[in-house]
Structures are given as structure tokens and as C-alpha cells.
Structure 1
Amino acid sequence: MVMGTASNVGKSVLCTALCRILVQDGYRVAPFKAQNMSLNSAVTPTGREIGRAQAVQAAACGIAANEHMNPVLLKPTSLDKSQVVLQGRVYETTSARAYFQERTGEIWDAVVESYEYLAARYDVLVIEGAGSPVEMNLKSRDIANMRTAELADADVLLVADIERGGIFAAVVGTLQLLSARERARIRGVIVNKFRGDRSLFDDGVRLLEELTDVPVLGVIPHLRDLGIEEEDSVALDERRYRSASSDAPDREAVRIAVIQLPHISNFTDFDPLFLEPGVHAYFCRRPEDVGAAHAVLLPGTKNTMEDLQWLRETGFVDVLAQRRAEGAVVFGVCGGYQMLGKEVRDPKGHESSIPVCKGLDWLPVVTTLEHEKTTVLVQGHLEGAFAPIPVSGYEIHMGQSLGLSGYQPFATVRQTTDDVTRPDGAVNADGTVMGTYLHGIFDNDAFRQAWLNQVRERFGISPPVSSALSMASTRAQAFDRLATVVREHLEMDAVYRMIGHPPRATGSHSTC
């Protein structure tokens, strides 16, 4: 099990690395995280919803994701409420207080059931903790850390982020706040995100070991441009997402502004654009950050109604209208697609106390939020100017959108489990505004290139000499690169002693 001294210290990425390494070394491996709080989620082949990090880790293992890998997913809908997804299905929307009081009942039973399901089917589970195991006001009700470690009888690696400073206090303080029984599970410390000459931290390693009596099993270097999807929106503060429009290094780059909504979800939908040659993508928190964008993207959101109001109150709507008038293309995904319609209705208050909110009225659709949540994998083909490019993706939404007069679908799709086709999304008459429910739409290489070339043509931008980016290959290479670096800087012999077995297929380290 991998725990951290705090949130965002790199637990998810290190778990991904361990998943890949263990698979390369011949084990049947699966990820597990008892409880995740994130608005970045994924859909399994059976139509269940789990945290994005566990779906990424499953991909690193070369297996299909399932709901048991993340039995509890909390998706905040407001400052004091979260939607609780239990084994992939909506359980309830509740306050933090009510949720904490119910953890020992049906919710913990689901965690135990999911753990036992995976443990019976895989050689090794790579278990990820959540936040810190020593949030003392919550510790007695924490199911994601030490309680899960005890369930699995797991040895624990404690990860600390040296980049944020205070690593000695973080490690020593965490260990001091654990009980003696809990401390006995900590078998090693990992210092993460180290920059510079590793030998300069030799004294640091010695001091950590003397102060804690726990071995430092690895000092992992900071990895730039890793190309692996992030777990939650904390990552949006990283420079690769934060570059302003004026920072574009190439005047011939396509400038793409992504609006960072307050309740943004699944922002990793746009990761392929950040990796694409000849493209400068950036997230915007203020209207002035949009700059001279050639395209503006509206992402998914866990609260469409309130984020629509936020767009108006902050002045984003006026800026979007101006950029559209100047020729920019506008694209919405999921909640962003709903915002582009005439109206969004929430008569039963599923997301907000606002019953009706006027949309941007750039697409002829009306959306009604409903109790039943759609979580499906889909595939199909595009319509209109992009026909018949094949596409695939996944849907996670509680709203149903109805086309009005003049409606043109973005795509025709079907669930991967049946042959019933239906329209998805919408496109305006001149093809400059479009929306879709398909998360992962930009992972489709053919569509992404066609869409970027459409934007380039509108603004007279020359395509780069080489732009044949394959997202499938890029992600596989990222997993292997990550595994190689972690293997080099982590004492894997110690990890295998914890597992109790040597590597089963050493030396090949091939992509699974």
C-alpha cells in the first residue's frame, strides 16, 4: 500500500508505476483505492463509474477497469455536499457530516466486498491511500488509509513530496501521529519529486532514517511532461496547465483556451491537446486569460447551473461571445455542451437550488437534469463536416438534452453493449459551435487532427511538419517511461520482500 504525508504528493503516479513494474515482472496486478474524492472519473466496460486514477492504473496493468477498484467515489457538488458513488452507482448526495456518520455501515461493507473480490483474482493489489493517514479530527472515521491497510494486512510505503518543502516535518510528524501498531506497517519512505543532484540529499536520507528508524527506499526524481492523466484538479496549478495565452512559444501554434469552471470535472479530456505538436493549450481562471484564442473549450462540471451563473457573473460569457464573433471555434463537453444550449432545467434540485438557467443559446438544445445517471461506454461515427470519422468515449451525466428546430447531431453513437444507435451532441449551422457528451473525445486521433485542421484553416495557420500523435502509443510509452525511472530509483528488492516473492519474469520489461 502507498500512503502519503499529504494530498498531491504523488501517490497515484507511484501506484501507477508499481502496477506497471509488477506486470512487467510477471504478476497479475490490480489497483485498489477504498475511497476517492475527485471530479475526474471514468466509466468501466459494465457502465460503472470509478475514479480516473484507478482507471489509469488498470490501464497500466493491462486490464479492464471495474467498480471494485474504487468502491467509494465522492464527487463534490457544492461546498458542503457530495454525490456518493458506491461500487460504481450513485448511492446518494449528502453532506460531509452525514457521510462520516454512515461509513461504518453499508459503505464499509462495500469496501470489504470489493477488496475481497480483487484479492481472490489477482496476485498483487497495489493499494492507494487518500490524503494523509493522520488527519487527527477525521482519523477515527478514515476508511481509506490505515483501516484499509489492516483489512489487507498490507505493508505500507510512505510518500513525501520534497518539492513542497518541510519533508522532515512531514515524514517525522506523520509517523509520530500514528499508533505503534500503525507505525509497524510503514516499511519504507519514498522521497518524491526530487530535483537536482541526488548525492546532495545523502545527508537528508541519513537523517530521515535516524529520526524515524524507517529505511528510505527511494528518492524519485521530478518527472516533467509525464503524459499520464492526473487524479484531481489540484494538478491544474502545474505550469503545463497554467501557461497564459501570451506565453505561446510559436506564432503558428493553435491557441486553445479551456475555461476552468469552479466545479470542473474530467479536465483530463483535454490532455491530448496539451501533448499535440503545434498546439498551445491553457486553462483560464479569468476572462482576460482567454486572450486571442483560436478555440475555446467548455469542460464538464458537477454543477452546470451554478457554473453557468459563474460564467455570466465573471464576464466570461461576454468574452466568449466576442471571441466567437472574431472567428474562434467553441466546443463543449458534457456540462459544457449543456451550457451551449438554450436552457438547462433542474426542476427537482439534483445539482442546485436553481430550477432553470438560461444557456448561451448557441446550440438548439434544452437540457433537463434527471435523477438517473448515465454512465456508459459508447462508439460510433461523426456527422456533418467530420463524417464518417469513427469515435469512441464514455458518458457520465445526469441530464438529457433534447434537440429543437434546426438541430444537427455531432455524432451517431451506440453503447458498446448493444446495437441501438442514437444522436449525440449538437453542431450549429456553420460548424463553429459544437458540443458532445463524449468524454475522451480528443483521445480519438482522427477527429482531433481533423478538428485542429479545421481551426487552422479558419485562421490560416500552417500545420506542423509532424503531428501524427497516437494517444494509445503515447500513454503506453508514458507508462513504460515511468516504470523505468521508478525501477531505477526505488529499491525494488525491498518491495518484493514485502510481497514475499521474487520477480517472475525479470529482464524483459516489455509493454504489456
Structure 2
Amino acid sequence: MTAKFLMIQGTTSDSGKTTLVMALCRIFADMGYKVAPFKSQNMSLNSFVNKEGFEIARSQVLQAQAARIEPQPAHNPVLLKPKGNNTSQIILMGKPFADYKVREYYPIYIPKLIPHIKKSLEKLSQTNDVVIIEGAGSPAEINLADHEIANMFVAKLVKSPVVIVGDIDKGGVFASIYGTVELVKEDEKPLIKAYIVNKFRGDESLLTSGLVMLSEKLNMPCLGVLPYINDLYLPAEDSLDIKETRKLRNINIGVIRLPKISNFTDFEPFLAENDVSLEYCIKPHQLKNKDLIIIPGTKNTISDLNWMKENGFFDEVSLLEKQGAIILGICGGFQMLGQKIIDKGIEENLIKEYNGLGLLPTTAEFKDYDKITHQISAKVINIPNLEGQIIKGYEIHMGIIKNGPNLKTFLEYEDKNLLKKNYSLGIYNESMSTFGTFLHGIWENDLFRKEFLSFVASHHNKQFVETKTSHNEIVEQNIDKVATIVRKHLDLQELCKIVGLEMGNKEK
């Protein structure tokens, strides 16, 4: 089997490439094709661990879900995770590869990454009917044209037709599409076959004359004008996409918006609960009136710990815990809740000891442990109404937690081998006011989410009225919603002609 390829590139970041690729994955899957997403290089702090323990970007996981397949490292061979101070971590084929400074990336690391990108494309080509490739940023970044590995480099590797997407909501869409095509290299222009206008609000007929002129100038068709879609409930790719509901409701949750916040998709399931408000807080005073305060994951625990101290969050969180708020830390936030964090050269390259919030009698220790990345099943214990529940999630972290006295476990590994290692997965203090866990994706477990919110409500003498929702069902409904809109507004017959596929009777 040799797959057909289609590449979606954008005039800018946030032009809608990720969502369009997701929709096309669902559309081609519904046609009966075996389809896979691909993005050679993604930069994101929202990642996911697949069943084999490989870490890839959340956006490619969403696209794989749309294609109705399991996510794999070949879908996103290179994931860059910014750590601060012009340093990022390279996740290569799902595993940590190296930390690099910005100036080192192009001359030193890109030559080492290219073979893995090629192998991933070969693997996907051999096992699929069609591979839909997402570009990164814009192909018109001419300062990087000789070094990039995410746009025309990939298109030329597999001779993929390219469709350019422009975001009209930001303005200047005709100039941005025209300029993008004109700025790519002459030998790359023949690969660009069409363009799409995205995120349009209003009367489409007003665009007609402009589209006719643009198509004449570029000598290529417009495949469609996609409308702006409101109220989408899909996992966010980066911090530009953070969604919240600030209006106070019966249960009010505050997530501290750390500078290096990661995996904030953990909290999106709260958005489906009508009785819950969710606010990302950048100032300590925003935490007042919050029933549940969450310290999220972070790509740099020490840096964000110091930021919390310097900006008054330590004092405010400690005060609010004494006044009755429930505090919960996930991953890096869990590590911050303890007495101390000992960094033996992992994050700061020097052995240092830092004071944590002191709300849990624990010590977090970073040293030469392998990065822990795996999916897990866990049993809930020692929490009323949740006892014995089996929940699923995943771990992505460095370091371990050493427990002190007077702690209770509320999450216990089902895997006996992990249980024997006595790793802390989820614990709380005597007063049940402070919880810590390494489990990402915990709130996607619908029954656990609703029962825990009921526990928070009862702690504050409130009542929680659950919304009859399933997180995964809502995501599926939204994938189908976008796919339906794209089907309606895109010339799929022309797109299939560009790709070299038949629509025929395979369309559902």
C-alpha cells in the first residue's frame, strides 16, 4: 500500500490548520479510507501518552481520534516542549531526546531529526490510504526556508499537494494568501494547488469578487470559505486556546496560570458542567471565592515555584486552605505542594533545595530517573462515594515523591509491579483539604469528575447538580460538528481530485 498525501499549510499560526486536518481525517475515514494525520514537528506543552508509553502532541492525538485510529509516534515524530531561558526539550519518536538552546537547533539537531521524519512518513505511507499532513506556522517564513522541517520540506519529500489556509477573522486574508504563495521558493510553488478562506463571519457573497481576482492572480481555485465556528469543545493545542467560564456558579474552580503551564487540557472537562465555573488565575486575588484551587502541571517546576513565591501565591493559597478551600496539585503542582523539592541537577543543572508550599508532608526529588511516561489504570480508595472506582489516565513527569507521615492514598495503581515500587500516584492530608496526584486526564473520567465535584460541594455546604455529559462523547460530537460544516462548505470533489482519491460510493 502506498498512501496518497495532502498537506494543509497556513498563512499564519492559528489559521485553523489543526482543526481542518482533524475534520478531513474524519471525512476521509467516513468515506471508507484508512487515514492518518502527520505533523513532523510540533511545539506544544499539551501532550499525551499513548498505550505504548510514547508522548506526542495533543493535537495529533485529536486528529488520530478523528481518523478513528490509535495515536502513535509516527503521527508526530518531533515534539518541542519549551522550558524557558531559550531552552526546549526535544521529544523524538515519543521519548526524550535532548534539551537544546534556540541557536543550536538548526545546525546541530535538525540533521539528527530528519531521518526519523522520513521513516515516519514511510511507515504511514505503507499502512494507510491517505496521510493528511499539517504544516507549522507559515511556509512564508523566508528566514527559515533553508532550515525548516515542517512545511515545504515535508511536501517535497513526499511530493504532496499543498492547500493554503488563510484566517479572514484577523483581516488581510487576500494579501496573506497571495503573499504566502509568492514568498515560497519557485520550485515549491507548483506543489500549491488551492487555497481555503477560514473563520468567516457574515455574507459570503461579499467575498466573491475578491476570490475571483485572487484565484486569477494565483492561477488556482478557492476550495471554499469556512465559517467561524463558535462554542467548539475540543482539546486545546496551546495557551492561546485556553477556555474558561469566569462567571461565578455554584462550584467555582481556580487554576493558577503558571508561566510554563502544561497539559491544561486536564481541566477542559469542567467546561461541560453547567454548575461549574473555571477561571485561570494570574493574580492571587483571583483565587478568592474559589471552592477548588488547582496548581497544574508545568514544564519547569522550579521556575514556576519561584514565580508563585514572588507573586504572592504561596501566602494566598495557604491562607485560603485555612479558610476552607480545597487545594489540588497535578504533576508539577503536586510536587510544589510538599515541604521541599530537591533538584539534583535535572532542571537547573545544580543541586539545590527549594521550599514548597508545605501543605503536604512530602518531598519531591529530581535526579537521574528516567522520565515516567505511561498510561495507567488506578483504583480510588479512601474517598466516600468513590471507593473502588477504576479510573484511567497517564503520567508524564520527572522525579518522584517521598511521603511523610499522616497521609492517605486516594489513587492506587492497578498494576502490581507499579504498586510494589510504592510510587505516589494520588494522596491527601488528614483534613482532606489538600490533594496531590500525578495522573493527567483524571477529570475525563466522568463518574470520578462528578463525584469529586459533589465532594467539593459538600465540603462547602453546597449542592452540585451534575450535567448529564460524557467528556469523550462531547469531543466526538464536536469532531463530527466540524466535519459536517467542512463537508458543506468545501469543494470535496475538487479536493479529492487534487489528492488523487475517488469519492464515489465510499461517501457515507
TM-score, normalised relative to structure 2: 0.94
Show CA shifts across 1:173-206 (max 9, x none).
1111112221211111111111122223223322
Could you say which residue in structure 2 is the equivalent of 1:64? 70
Could you say which residue in structure 2 is the equivalent of 1:301? 298
Partner residue of 2:106 out of 100, 107, 132: 100
Inter-CA distance 476–45: structure 2 relative to 1 (3 Å threshold):
same
Contact 1:36 1:51 in 2 (8 A): yes
Residues 1:289 and 2:289 are matched in the alignment: no
| Distance in 2 between residues matched to 1:234 and 1:98, nearest whole Å | 26
Could you say which residue in structure 1 is the equivalent of 2:226? 220
Please, which moves more after superposition, 357-366 or 281-290? 281-290
Alignment map for 1:67-86 (pairs within 5 Å): 67-86=73-92
Query: Letter of the aligned partner of 2:446 in structure 1?
Result: D
Partner residue of 2:263 out of 253, 260, 266: 266
Alignment map for 1:325-364 (pairs within 5 Å): 325-350=322-347, 355-364=352-361
Show CA shifts across 1:18-42 (max 9, x none).
1111101100011111011111111
Could you say which residue in structure 1 is the equivalent of 2:463? 462
How far did residue 414 of structure 1 move? Answer: 4.1
Contact 1:414 1:421 in 2 (8 A): no
Could you say which residue in structure 2 is the equivalent of 1:393? 393
| Distance in 1 between residues matched to 2:63 and 2:284, nearest whole Å | 35
Inter-CA distance 212–445: structure 2 relative to 1 (3 Å threshold):
same
Could you say which residue in structure 1 is the equivalent of 2:174? 168
| Distance in 1 between residues matched to 2:30 and 2:505, nearest whole Å | 7
TM-score, normalised relative to structure 1: 0.93
| Distance in 2 between residues matched to 1:322 and 1:425, nearest whole Å | 23
Inter-CA distance 67–469: structure 2 relative to 1 (3 Å threshold):
same
Inter-CA distance 416–26: structure 2 relative to 1 (3 Å threshold):
farther
Residues 1:313 and 2:324 are matched in the alignment: no
Please, which moves more after superposition, 364-373 or 436-445? 364-373
| Distance in 1 between residues matched to 2:109 and 2:149, nearest whole Å | 8
Contact 2:272 2:471 in 1 (8 A): no
| Distance in 1 between residues matched to 2:208 and 2:416, nearest whole Å | 53
Query: Letter of the aligned partner of 1:447 in structure 2?
Result: F
Contact 1:413 1:421 in 2 (8 A): no
| Distance in 2 between residues matched to 1:219 and 1:132, nearest whole Å | 19
Q: Which ranges of structure 1 fall in alignment gaps of 5 or more residues?
A: none
Inter-CA distance 203–328: structure 2 relative to 1 (3 Å threshold):
farther
How far did residue 504 of structure 1 move? Answer: 5.9
Show CA shifts across 1:280-330 (max 9, x none).
112112222223111111111000001011011111222222322222111
| Distance in 2 between residues matched to 1:3 and 1:290, nearest whole Å | 40
Contact 1:395 1:437 in 2 (8 A): yes
Could you say which residue in structure 2 is the equivalent of 1:91? 97
Local SS of the residue matching 1:258: strand
| Distance in 2 between residues matched to 1:169 and 1:383, nearest whole Å | 59
Show CA shifts across 1:213-263 (max 9, x none).
332112111112211111111213xxx43x54xx33x4xx31111111000
| Distance in 1 between residues matched to 2:436 and 2:462, nearest whole Å | 23
Contact 2:302 2:347 in 1 (8 A): no
| Distance in 1 between residues matched to 2:483 and 2:230, nearest whole Å | 14
Report the identity percentage.
Answer: 38
Partner residue of 1:13 out of 3, 13, 19: 19
Local SS of the residue matching 1:484: helix
Contact 2:318 2:357 in 1 (8 A): no
Q: Which ranges of structure 2 fall in alignment gaps of 5 or more residues?
A: 1-6
Query: Letter of the aligned partner of 2:43 in structure 1?
Result: M
Local SS of the residue matching 2:399: strand
Could you say which residue in structure 2 is the equivalent of 1:53? 59
Inter-CA distance 29–351: structure 2 relative to 1 (3 Å threshold):
farther
How far did residue 419 of structure 1 move? Answer: 8.6
Local SS of the residue matching 2:407: coil
Query: Letter of the aligned partner of 2:458 in structure 1?
Result: E
Contact 2:251 2:464 in 1 (8 A): no
Query: Letter of the aligned partner of 2:378 in structure 1?
Result: G
Equivalent residue pairs, number: 498
Query: Letter of the aligned partner of 1:378 in structure 2?
Result: I
Contact 1:304 1:351 in 2 (8 A): no
Local SS of the residue matching 1:225: coil
Inter-CA distance 361–417: structure 2 relative to 1 (3 Å threshold):
closer
CA RMSD of aligned residues (A): 1.9
Contact 1:301 1:307 in 2 (8 A): yes
